[in-house]
Structure 1
Amino acid sequence: MSRFNALFLLLALLWGAASFTGCEKKDWRLPEKVHWDRDMCERCKMAISERKYAVDVVDPTTHRHYKFDDIGCAILWFKEEHLDWGDKAIIWVKDGKSGEWIDAKKAWYSTDKITPMGYGFTAYANKADAGSGEVIDFEEVKRRVIKIGR
């Protein structure tokens, strides 16, 4: 085998190994995987275990992800930490029906469920999925969580 062929084969193997080992860059704007019952809420330090209430907050300047067990914890964390990037943050929340990640700022919230930290807000991508009770938007969730303030 010539040196060129050997070098080509080596480079092809290295490129293939890099693809299989996860060296590909991921889009920082997308939510990260939650390691259920192992990842801890950034604010209350409880294990994140309820699959339809998890929250992933992304800092748009550092691209760092912060995980929470309840939308209430995420909102109060912003207030308590006095973060200057809060309005620009990307906030993902799990949909209460499908369990898929959705944009928390565009979601609709029911107010009558029992949530991990007791704030009672469950997110839905579609307003109709939120049920027949009271349905509110993200801004109203923020107002109510801050008013509760625990």
Structure 2
Amino acid sequence: MRTLFKISAISLFLLTACSQQDETGPAEVRWDKESCARCVMSVSDRKYSAQVRGGPSDRKTKVYKFDDIGCAVIWLDKQIWKDGPRTEVWVTDYRNGNWIDARTAAYVTGKVTPMAYGLGAQSDAVEGGLDFAAASKHIYKVEETEHKHRGGHMHDMGN
């Protein structure tokens, strides 16, 4: 009976430990197998992807993945918990694919990105670069002038 109790206790511990997800930081991406939470395109470009971790304060945080920082910014703005203390925004550094804090990243314009917002994030400051607030304004300007002019959200912007 003791052995059965020990096995049950160990099994319960292992199941609990394995089922817990990190409550902070970016999550692993299954490239080409996951879809953008906003536009439903495949998350495949390792240079321009983004993630948002957050959710209502009465629940465990959840990770949402995006094919472009533009999709993440616009999607997050519609969430009531967007400014909550548990809300994190991550973006890949376009130079090396490492995940960095999107709110402290520097952004350069003129990049060819999956959804044509044209922003590349990097971990260190760059002359003429944009901070997160300026990058967000840039995203909304592109959304209003380019995407709306062409009849909505663009999906094949590499051409």
> TM-score, normalised to structure 1's length?
0.79
Structure 2: distance between partners of 1:30 and 1:110: 23
Query: Alignment identity in percent?
Result: 37
Aligned to 1:141: 135
Secondary structure of the residue that 1:66 maps to in structure 2?
A: strand
Query: CA 1:11–1:29 in 2, change beyond 3 Å: closer, same or farther?
Result: same
Query: Between Structure 1 and Structure 2, whose CA radius of gyration is higher?
Result: 1
Aligned to 1:104: 102
Which stretches in structure 1 are left out of the alignment for 5+ residues? Answer: none
Which stretches in structure 2 are left out of the alignment for 5+ residues? Answer: 148-159
Q: Does 1:41 align with 2:36?
A: yes
Deviates more, 1:116-125 or 1:86-95: 86-95
Q: Does 1:10 align with 2:7?
A: yes
Query: CA 1:135–1:22 in 2, change beyond 3 Å: closer, same or farther?
Result: same
Structure 2: distance between partners of 1:112 and 1:45: 24
Deviates more, 1:106-115 or 1:55-64: 55-64
Deviates more, 1:113-122 or 1:58-67: 58-67
Name which of 60, 80, 85 aligns with 2:81: 85
1:109-148 aligned at under 5 Å gives the runs 109-128=107-126, 134-148=128-142
| Structure with the bigger percentage of helix | 1
Structure 2: distance between partners of 1:90 and 1:123: 16
Query: CA 1:87–1:8 in 2, change beyond 3 Å: closer, same or farther?
Result: closer
Query: Shift of residue 10 of structure 1?
Result: 3.0
Query: Shift of residue 122 of structure 1?
Result: 0.7
Query: CA 1:13–1:90 in 2, change beyond 3 Å: closer, same or farther?
Result: closer
Query: Shift of residue 24 of structure 1?
Result: 5.3
Deviates more, 1:100-109 or 1:84-93: 84-93
> TM-score, normalised to structure 2's length?
0.75
Query: CA 1:104–1:15 in 2, change beyond 3 Å: closer, same or farther?
Result: same
Length, aligned pairs only: 139
Say whether the 8 Å CA contact 1:60–1:90 is kept in structure 2: no
Structure 2: distance between partners of 1:84 and 1:10: 44
Return structure 1 stretches of 4+ with deviation > 4 angstroms.
Answer: none
Name which of 19, 28, 49 aligns with 2:23: 28
* One-letter identity of the residue aligned with 2:26: P
Structure 2: distance between partners of 1:14 and 1:84: 38
